[in-house]
Each structure stands twice: as structure tokens, then as C-alpha cells.
Structure 1
Amino acid sequence: MSKAILLIFIAASLAVVEPHGFLRVPLARTSIFRQPSFGASQPFWWDDTGVWCGNVQQDINFSTCGRCGDAPGNSHAAQGGRYDKGIVTATYNAGARIRVEAQIDAAHQGFYQIELCPQQQENNNCFQRLPVLASNNQVRDGTACVTMATQVIWAEVQLPAGVRCNRCTLRWTYRTAYPPAPNTCFNPNPAQTFRNCADIRIQ
């Protein structure tokens, strides 16, 4: 095997094992096909474990990531986009402490955070951080670290007591420590990032 072919093979292999994940409780808008009982029509985002800001590495402000994980400049995963079916995938009580779960297939450590847009009409400025209260990973500064390679990760957050909505948005953002960083939870450098939005009801 020539050196050039070997390098191509190695690069392809690395691309296959890049970290992937999705929000499964509540079920993300881009993963709606995973629950056929919702009766959602196509198109579906079949590669839903790769809703990763177009694989553009993000700074700590997620500056070029779409609102719900799209590539820069796109809004297919956002409310009103092609993957928005208007389907509420979970119902909660106002002020409740809820458990949010995500499936990580090949984690590169890092951390994730949970946010809520408490209004019917989603936009880029409506999201408010919900501090992580407990997790099956280390909790640090209101976020949860990702410490294991392949797992279901969960976090408990508390919904605001005064918020009720027929449809609002819960957002999960996972910022990895890839490319590798000295701190495996918080990477100060641009890093691979995944983001999902789920449509929920709060009563």
C-alpha cells in the first residue's frame, strides 16, 4: 500500500470514529424518526447522531453553530425548518425537576449544557441555561462533564416554576474536548460541538 493511500485510509477511519450523539429524552426534533408512533412525515434527518454544527469547531460561545445544530447559515433543524414536524415529544409540570438523557456513541469527553426557550416562537435569543443539578457524570459550574467513551448520559435540571407553554424548546449542547485539550471537561480552544432541540410542553 502506497503512503498516499495509507494516509487516505487513516483519515477515512478517523472520520468514521468521530464522536456522535443525540438527545433521546425528550426526543430531539432531528431524531423524530426513532419513535414511529409520533407519525411524523419525511423528510427525516437520518444521520441524527451527526447534528454537529456542520462539523465546524466551535468556540466557547458556539459562535457559528446553528440554533439547533445546523451548519453555519442553515436553519433546517430550527423551528420552522424542514425537520420541524411540530410534534411535542414530552410533557412536564412547571417547576418540576426533570431528567434529560442523551446517547453518546463515541464521546471525546468535554461537557454539555441544557437550555430552555420558554416561549412559543423560538429564536436565537430566547434560550436560558438550566443549571445541571445532578448527573451520572461530574457536575461543574452548572454543566455536566462527559467522562466515558460510549454511554447514555443524563442530567437533572429544574424547570422554572412560572413557565407554561403548549410548545417550547429544550436545547442540549455538547461541546467535546476534541481536538484534545489539557482539560478533558472544558476545552478553551475551538472544539467539535453537537446541538439538538426538542419540542416540549410545560403545564
Structure 2
Amino acid sequence: MKIALIIFVAGLALVEPHGHVSVPLARTSIFRRPQEFPGAQQPFWWDDNGVWCGNVQQDQQYSTCGRCGDAPGNTHANQGGRYDKRIITGNYMAGTVIWATVDFNANHRGGYMFELCPQVTENNNCFQRLQIPSSDRPVRDSNWACSGGDHQNGPTGVRIQLPANVRCSRCTLRWTYRTSYPPAPDACFNPNPTQTFRNCIDIAIH
């Protein structure tokens, strides 16, 4: 009986939602700050820590993950989808380094990147990977931030370099978190199909 209970609890830990981008606030997390965004209308994605490609493990091409973290075949989190409130949550100057915050609820190691779709109309092919000059936790290859090998939960800060030649009244910043679950030897990057999370964020660049 004790063994069964341990297995059950371990299983819960593995499926617990993992994280979201809180600064600038992700499109699927607008409900978290109603006073700041009073015009936002339901429906909301209430489980915003579970925007995780339908919990389908992803290869390195994220072949079956929706553009903004939907389950395969869905487009609810995309621009124009049911969770798109058309709300800008960050205003920035072109060419600057901006500060973002990622909140981890259940850190399963691995790491994440940020990409930018530098145009008003979002599509699957417009995203360009951004440089990450520094983070509260280790950074690899200047564009991949480790979530922390110690499974540390809570907020972590990351600095992101915006391109100098982009101006947009609305464009999409995207966070993709590639966990190390199932476990991989590398605490920062799992090359195998793995649990993956995505957030899209509506920002303006002046």
C-alpha cells in the first residue's frame, strides 16, 4: 500500500503544471492581473501553467506543438484564437535589452529560449530566435537559458536582446521551455522528445 501511494504521489509531481511568463505577461495569463487589464473578457486559459502542447512530448522541431502552446491541431492560444485578448503587455524600444520574468511551479530542469515574430500578423514561420545576454541561472550559446539543475521553483529573471531594426504596434514574443522530463543526462538541454511548454506574449516595439 505504501509503495502504491509513493508511485501515485510521484505521478502527480510529474504532471503538475510547470511555468509561465509573468513579465511581460503571457497571452494565456491575462486573467492574473484583472486590475491592470480590466477590458479583458473571458474565456481565459485558467491553467496557464499548463500551456504545454497538450502534454505531447516534443522533438527538437516541436513538430506537434501548437504555435503558442496548444495541443496538436488546436489554435486557441494563437493570435486570433479564443484566448487572444489583443492586449499589449509590454512596450519596448528597438535594440534594447529587456528584462523578463519566468515563474516556475514545478521545475523539471531543462531550459528555454525566446523568439520574436517581428510582424503584426503572426504565423508559424515568422519567429526569430533572440539572444539572451544573461539570466539569474546559467545561459548557453547566448540564446538558451537553463531553468536550474536544482529543480528550483519560483520566479527567475532573464535579459533578452531585441533587434535594432524592428518596429511593431503589435508583435509576438514567444517563450519555449524544453524540460528534462523524461530525464536526460544533461540538466540544461534534453535532445530527446520531451515535455514542452510555450507562451506567446503580445508586445509593442517603438
> Structures share a fold, TM > 0.5?
yes
Q: Is structure 2 residue 177 aligned with structure 1 residue 180?
A: no
Of residues 25, 28, 35 in structure 2, which corresponds to 1:27? 25
* Alignment match, 1:103: 103
| Match status 1:10 vs 2:7 | yes
Who is 1:70 aligned against?
70
CA RMSD of aligned residues (A): 1.6
**What per-residue deviation string (whole Å, max 9, x for no partner) do you get for residues 18-47 of structure 1?**
351001111000000011021200000000
Unaligned 5+ segments in structure 2 are none
Percent identity reads 62
> Aligned partners of 1:191, 1:105: CA distance in 2, in Å?
18
What are the superposed Cα offsets for residues 40-69 of structure 1, whole Å, 9 maximum, x if unpaired? Answer: 000000000000000001111111110000
Q: 2: distance between equivalents of 1:111 and 1:13? A: 22
* Greater alpha carbon shift after TM alignment, 180-189 vs 119-128: 180-189
Give the TM-score normalised by structure 2: 0.92
Alignment partner, residue 146 of structure 1 = 147
Aligned to 1:38: 37
Query: Which residue does 2:54 correspond to in 1?
Result: 54
| TM-score of the two chains, using structure 1 as the length reference | 0.93
Give me the whole-angstrom Cα distance separating, in 2, the residues matched to 1:96 and 1:72: 34
Partner of residue 190, structure 1: 193
Deviation at 1:151, TM superposition (A): 2.2
Higher alpha-carbon deviation: 54-63 or 118-127: 54-63
Change in 2 beyond 3 A, CA 1:97/1:2: closer
Where 2:91 maps in the other structure, the secondary structure is strand
Contact 1:19–1:107 at 8 Å: present in 2 too? Answer: no
